[in-house]
Amino acid sequence: MQKTKPIDYIERTRAQYAALNYPAYRWVENLSAPPWTPLKKPLNQCKVALICSGGIYKKGQIAFHYEDDTSFRIIRSDTPKSDLRITHFAYDMTAARKDPNVVFPNEGLQALADEGAIGEFAQNAYTFMGGIYSSRKVSSQLAPELANRVIKDEVDVVVLVPV
């Protein structure tokens, strides 16, 4: 397997903004750490869901729009990768379009469920397009809606895949 160098996301974002003559990107800083919540049961008994910000959507769904699109898509976890599509303005999608599992690891999570490492892979996965400039919209609209969805799905653990 060919090793690649990690991407310095912060420097890459700074350079991208400078090249576009945008003002310097202001990173969101949390004023306090989120509360630690230990698992109430072993991982091999937990229902695990997937939430990804890589702009993944299913064939037939509406593609994401550019900048500040705070919508999300619900994708069945057993959706074959041939039915997955990706659109995003903030990263090179070449590898993700070749194999969506790099940003939407549904096959890997299903394999973990099949081997008993996790109890169950939740039926619904949730995706949105990262790079949302309004942290207020994310914290007041998108994040609470996604949290409500996984609570309704009776999920114990969420795997978050940021892009």
Q: Which residues contact 27 (CB under 8 A, 6 or more apart)?
A: 10
Q: Mean pLDDT over residues 109-127, rounded?
A: 97
Cβ atoms < 10 Å from Cβ of 22: 9
- Residue-wise pLDDT for 46-65, tens only, equals 999 999 999 999 999 999 88
Query: CA 86 to CA 129: how far, in whole Å?
Result: 9
Query: CA 41 to CA 97: how far, in whole Å?
Result: 36
Question: 43 versus 10: which is more confidently predicted?
Answer: 43
Asked whether the predicted pLDDT for residue 122 surpasses 70, the reply is yes
Question: Encoding tokens for residue 153?
Answer: 């799905």
Question: 68 versus 154: which is more confidently predicted?
Answer: 154
Q: Residue 68 in 3-state DSSP?
A: coil
Q: What percent of the chain has pLDDT over 90?
A: 58
Query: What's the pTM value of the predicted model, to 2 decimals?
Result: 0.83
- Residue-wise pLDDT for 141-158, tens only, equals 999 999 999 999 999 999
Cβ–Cβ under 8 Å, residues 125 and 153 = no
Asked whether the predicted pLDDT for residue 2 surpasses 90, the reply is no
**Residue in 112, 82, 88 with CA at minimum distance from that of residue 100:** 82
